[in-house]
């Protein structure tokens, strides 16, 4: 029976430890939403919540990412962001968003996000000059994709698909 009482003691200790920590966590965890009250001072857990009677539909809508943001000419980019100070509906969620528009020759400066994560999505990029392997794919004959003398494995198709993968990787690496 000593094993059973030891397991009970460990479970009780874990429960007490959880209950001791709970009051010190963010209030946003206990609520469906916590719109930031920007008139109050920020705390380590975020901004205090607005009273529910003061919350409006506009607190859940942000259009700031629809247009390019501030231009950073040395880097040839523009940045727009959605953070809790510009979009109070993000309070307590631990997330933010940004839109970066990069022109040809632009670079993303080295930076870090301590304790954060970054997700990059490339929506559109400037096309590169046509790769001969891609040209071979586009000019494939209508009678099944093979020139006379080609191997049955459609070598040109495989080479062109490899070029597409490399092109996509180059675009991703360029944008990081």
- Listing DSSP states for 96-115 in one string gives -EEEEEE-TT--PPP---TT
| C-beta of residue 80 within 8 angstroms of C-beta of residue 46 | no
pLDDT of 125: 62
SS3 82: strand
34 in a structural domain: yes
| C-beta of residue 85 within 8 angstroms of C-beta of residue 101 | no
33 in a structural domain: yes
pLDDT of 31: 65
Low-confidence ranges of the chain (pLDDT < 50): 28, 134, 136-138, 140, 145-147, 150, 152-176
88 in a structural domain: yes
Q: Do 58 and 78 belong to one domain?
A: yes
- Domain with 45 in it: 25-119
pLDDT of 29: 54
* CA distance readout (Å), 46 to 25, 36, 129, 130: 11, 8, 48, 50
Total structural domains within the chain: 2
pLDDT of 35: 92
50 in a structural domain: yes
Q: Do 108 and 169 belong to one domain?
A: no
pLDDT of 45: 78
């Amino acid at each position: 029976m000593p094993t059973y009482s030891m397991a009970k003691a460990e479970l009780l200790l874990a429960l007490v430890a959880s209950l001791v920590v709970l009051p010190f966590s963010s209030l946003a965890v206990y609520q469906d939403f916590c719109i930031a009250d920007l008139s109050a001072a920020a705390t380590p857990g975020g901004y205090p919540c607005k009273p529910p009677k003061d919350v409006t539909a506009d607190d859940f809508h942000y259009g700031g990412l629809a247009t390019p943001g501030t231009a950073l000419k040395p880097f040839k980019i523009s940045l727009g962001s959605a953070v809790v100070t510009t979009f109070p509906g993000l309070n307590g969620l631990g997330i933010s968003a940004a839109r970066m528009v990069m022109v040809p020759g632009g670079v993303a400066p080295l930076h870090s996000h301590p304790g954060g994560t970054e997700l990059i999505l490339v929506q559109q990029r400037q096309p590169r000059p046509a790769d001969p392997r891609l040209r071979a794919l586009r000019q494939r004959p209508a009678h099944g994709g093979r020139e006379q003398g080609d191997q049955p494995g459609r070598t040109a198709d495989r080479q062109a698909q490899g070029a597409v993968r490399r092109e996509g990787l180059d675009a991703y690496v360029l944008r990081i």
